[in-house]
Chains A and B, each alone.
Chain A
Amino acid sequence: MREVPEVVAHLFTWDARSQSFRAPGQAYREVSELLRGHLVGYKDEAAGFQKLELVFGREVTPYSHQVEGLNAWKRANRQGVVVLPTGAGKTLVAQLAMRDTPRSTLICVPTLDLLQQWYSGLLSAFPDANIGLLGGGSHDETPVLVSTYDSAAIHAEELASKYGLIIFDEAHHLPSDFTRVIAEMSLAPYRLGLTATPKRGDGREVDLNTLIGPVVYEKRPEELKGTTLADYKEVHILVKLSPSEQLKYDELIALRNRFLFKMSIQLGSLDGWQAFIKSSGTPEGRKAMIAHREAKSLAYGTEGKLRVLEELLANHPGERTLIFTDDNATVYRVSREFLIPSITHQTPTKERHAVLEKFRSGAYQALVTSRVLNEGVDVPEASVAVILSGTATEREQIQRLGRILRKAEGKKATLYEVVTQGTREERVSQQRKGQWKPAGQTGPVWESINAPD
């Protein structure tokens, strides 16, 4: 390209490095519409979209909110975000949009679970379509491609020209620094975002306006509650160290301290810690080290949370129960101690399928997972969810609620949130960040179990 026609000149920038004019892929639609509008002749060597005829392989009867969402998006020139609660059938809105926008389509999803779920959903919706995967070990090049955000961002350059329609599932992921290039580099004239809540911690949800389009349709969980979605109740449980645990804690610390005193080790310094570690090779030292670790774990309240979990499991026999934890270590601890099947990002794809399938069919009564199932993964008819210490940002709350909101015949879903009473756990974490000040503290001083920095 030597010169840029005047009507689109404002969209291009001279690039001295390559001695050419350059515009971001995202400008494609505006450039071609302006050129056509002003009857400027041009040759399009940028777009590589394919035509795509999709025919549903089964009868579909969308709910009214799904049809409304689809129509609102079409009226907005097929650029915009549809906000529906998890469980309200966002996937069908996307499939209808694909059928009605017959161009090669890229679908971006945040997790490997969703990748598999979209893939099998599309295969059954459009049996004749050529559907592929990007991410999780696959690198297909198909006119319908389901990709993780990460893989799509890594391969943004090569994907940019190939897809006429892009669907962003859980679209609030898109505006992050690393993934937004998927939308910026893409030529796709048609863009659909789907999310239960566009809110982000950093306020960048406004960027969705330019990356995809405005919110064109929105329904809150309350508006669909009892109709499409199951009714639910929330129960919050605060865990404290029990008197016996407090006693146990004191005993453990005393045991450790006796050993340290005997060995003249002071934990306040680096040398002290190294001496403690060295001495943990002896049986007595080992015992002291184990006591130290147990005390630490007690202070974090995990034991208390597991005690509550045990009670909840006993109170809901035979009910399908989903357990969420903050970290993988706790997932595996719950799985090992209760023999509850688990899913984390480390679970092999095949196995994660099998586990989800068994949970779905009722062969498994409970499932423990970290954040991997937080979003969108289709786990039907769980009637009990237990969250072991979640961080209470609004987004996560709604996403997690969504897990058990699936309509189940005659069932009232229950969501338990089990949180350790702030003080001690917080103190440890604040202390690590160097923010903790014991000043003004009332009651007994909690002994520092982390040596000072």
Chain B
Amino acid sequence: MLPTELLMFKVKAGLVEPRRLKPTPSHLTLVSSLVNVFESHLNEKRFQLEEDFRALEVGRSDYRVVRGLAHLLANDNAEFETGGLLEPNLVREKVFELAQGAPHSRTRTKRVLEEASKRLQLDSPEEALDLLYADLNDQQRLVSFDPPDPVALLQRFDLAQAQGMLYRAYSLTITAHRNEPARYKQLLKYTKLFGLMVTVEGDADIGFTLTMDGPTSLFSGTTRYGLALAKFLPALLHVTKWDLSAALKPRKDLSWVDPNDDEWSFQLTSEDGYVSHYKEPKDHDSALESGFAERFGKLDTPWTLEREVDLVPVPGGVIIPDFRLVHEDGRNVLVEIVGYWRPDYLKKKFDLLRKSGRTDVIVAVSERLNLEKAGVKTTDFGGRVIFFKGVLNPKTVLELAESVGKTSD
């Protein structure tokens, strides 16, 4: 990601458009000049690189492009280290000690450094001066550099700019369509990881809306969760078929911003060509499910097993089924397989399903524990529960599907 001062965007009628870099010859040339700066300054100090970056950016109205790309390269592809034989803080201690006793002046400086270099057994006064602040960030040496694929760097830049738009987001709404459960599960995992709260509404026909914010968003729009939303964006990019709309607090600190703007909006869709650098989720998240899909494939039946499922919104949460069964005649059923469970988890799940009022969800529960003892009443969930030992037989699921399947419109 990029610091706020390197963000580039336009605002048109309240809509923000982050800067994107197409792999044009001029951008690719810029990338190669930047890569060249890194490669030609190997074992040199950071400020020496900075000087070249500054030089590259002078005269450009889009100097933030240069700085932004350099920032990403320095963070992701380069390694810097503090050099020198003597600890800089020891050099400072000695030099500043010797500099006392008379008013500080630049005419005295050379003599003091000469004295210091003798006492510290350095080769020259210049070396003493060089070591004085060798531990500063900009005095560190570039020790290694691993050049990226130029196009991938431009993509990282685009994504970082888009993420930056969300720093000032106070809510984010995603409209999504039927999709693979693993994608949604990863998405929800990331919302939890970043301390976000998500409210799911709607159905497969009109699309699901996922509204994301944080606990205190209830009281007032807050940008407190903006950073979390920004980190969440690359996870969303692994899901297909969505569009996103975020409400942003305008940047009043910028002179070109209309002071009357009181809200900006950032909109994005899965088709906008942004590329995630987060790991892609696996298609099947457990052996249980992949085994079931495999066995189902060998059956001859008018039902097909689909990986793309509907979300089932429930008060205070959402259930993500594992499969969707679709009959030739249009009937369809959602299937959730619960392999490993704790009694309170299962109780809550049945509670939620009952509250959702959905009758087209079949739950298959692995019978590894004594259910009665766990306090789970199987009658609570009509006849839409299957208990299985070891392997889940697709035929059992289909029998139940025949009786509960609803006609799709």
Contacts and interface: CB of A to CB of B under 8 A. Distances in A.
State whether these chains interact.
Answer: yes
Interface of A: 13, 15-19, 22, 24, 157, 177-178, 181, 184-185, 267-270, 272-274, 276-277, 280, 289, 306, 310, 313-314, 316-317, 332, 335-341, 346, 348, 351, 363-366, 433, 435, 450-453
B104 A17 contact: no
Given A17-B197, A346-B136, A22 B58 contact: no
Contact of A15 (B33, B100, B218, B249): B218
A280 B133 CA distance: 26
Interface stretch (B88-96, B176-184, B231-239): B88-96
Given A18-B316, A313-B103, A451 B109 contact: no
Interface stretch (B219-227, B281-289, B391-399): B219-227
Contacts, number: 111
A316 B104 CA distance: 10
Nearest to B139: A332
B219 A317 contact: no
A433 B255 CA distance: 8
B99 interface: yes
B133 A17 contact: no
A339 B96 contact: yes
B219 A310 contact: no
Contacts of A178: 224
Interface of B: 33, 52, 55-56, 58-61, 89, 92, 95-100, 102-106, 108-109, 112-113, 129, 132-133, 136-137, 197-199, 215-216, 218-219, 222-224, 249, 255, 315-316
Contact of A453 (B61, B96, B224): B61
Contacts of A274: 33, 56
28 contacts: A17-B198, A17-B316, A18-B316, A19-B315, A19-B316, A157-B215, A181-B216, A181-B222, A269-B59, A273-B59, A273-B60, A277-B56, A280-B55, A289-B55, A310-B105, A310-B106, A317-B102, A338-B105, A339-B112, A341-B92, A346-B136, A363-B97, A365-B100, A365-B103, A365-B104, A366-B104, A451-B58, A453-B61
A337 B100 CA distance: 14
Contacts of A363: 97, 100
B215 A332 contact: no
A435 B255 CA distance: 10
A276 to B, nearest CB: 8
B109 A17 contact: no
A19 B352 CA distance: 12
A93 to B, nearest CB: 31
B218 A273 contact: no
Nearest to A315: B103
B89 A351 contact: yes
Nearest to B63: A453
A385 to B, nearest CB: 15
Given A19-B315, A348-B89, A272 B104 contact: no
Contacts of A272: 59
Contacts of A276: 55
A339 B99 contact: yes
Contacts of B96: 339-341, 364
Given A24-B216, A269-B59, A453-B61, A337 B109 contact: yes
Contacts of B222: 181
Contact of A185 (B105, B216, B255): B216
Contacts of B105: 310, 313-314, 338
Contact of A181 (B52, B137, B224): B224
A364 B137 contact: no
Contact of B58 (A335, A338, A433, A450): A450
A313 B99 CA distance: 13
A336 B133 contact: yes
Closest 6 CB pairs of A and B: A451-B59, A453-B61, A339-B99, A19-B316, A273-B59, A338-B104
Contact of B215 (A22, A269, A452): A22
A13 B219 contact: yes
Indicate the member of B33, B89, B98, B219 with the most A CB atoms within 10 Å: B219
A157 B228 CA distance: 15
Contacts of B198: 17
Contacts of B98: 339
B99 to A, nearest CB: 4
Given A22-B218, A332-B133, A348-B89, A270 B59 contact: yes
Given A270-B59, A364-B96, A16 B104 contact: no
B30 to A, nearest CB: 9
B48 to A, nearest CB: 12
Contacts of A18: 197, 316
Contacts of B103: 313-314, 316-317, 365
Given A16-B199, A184-B216, A338-B105, A273 B58 contact: yes
A364 B198 CA distance: 57
Contact of A336 (B132, B137, B223): B132
B58 A340 contact: no
B105 to A, nearest CB: 6
B84 to A, nearest CB: 15
A181 B56 CA distance: 41
A313 B224 CA distance: 47
Contacts of A340: 96, 99, 104
Contacts of B224: 178, 181
A161 B31 CA distance: 50
Nearest to A289: B55
B354 to A, nearest CB: 14
A339 B109 contact: yes
A277 B37 CA distance: 11
A306 B96 CA distance: 19
A139 B266 CA distance: 36
Nearest to B58: A273
A273 B255 CA distance: 27
A338 B106 contact: yes
A357 to B, nearest CB: 12
Given A184-B216, A272-B59, A337 B106 contact: yes
Contacts of A267: 59
Contacts of B99: 338-340
Contacts of B61: 453
Contacts of A453: 59-61
A338 B98 CA distance: 12
Given A274-B56, A314-B103, A339 B316 contact: no
A18 B92 CA distance: 57
Given A365-B104, A451-B58, 18 more contacts: A13-B218, A13-B219, A17-B218, A181-B216, A273-B59, A277-B55, A277-B56, A280-B55, A310-B106, A313-B105, A339-B96, A339-B98, A339-B108, A340-B104, A348-B89, A351-B92, A365-B103, A453-B60
B126 to A, nearest CB: 12
A269 B61 CA distance: 10
B216 A339 contact: no
Given A337-B109, A338-B109, A364-B96, A277 B89 contact: no
B98 to A, nearest CB: 8
Nearest to A202: B252
A313 B104 contact: yes
B209 to A, nearest CB: 13
A450 B102 CA distance: 40
Nearest to B60: A270
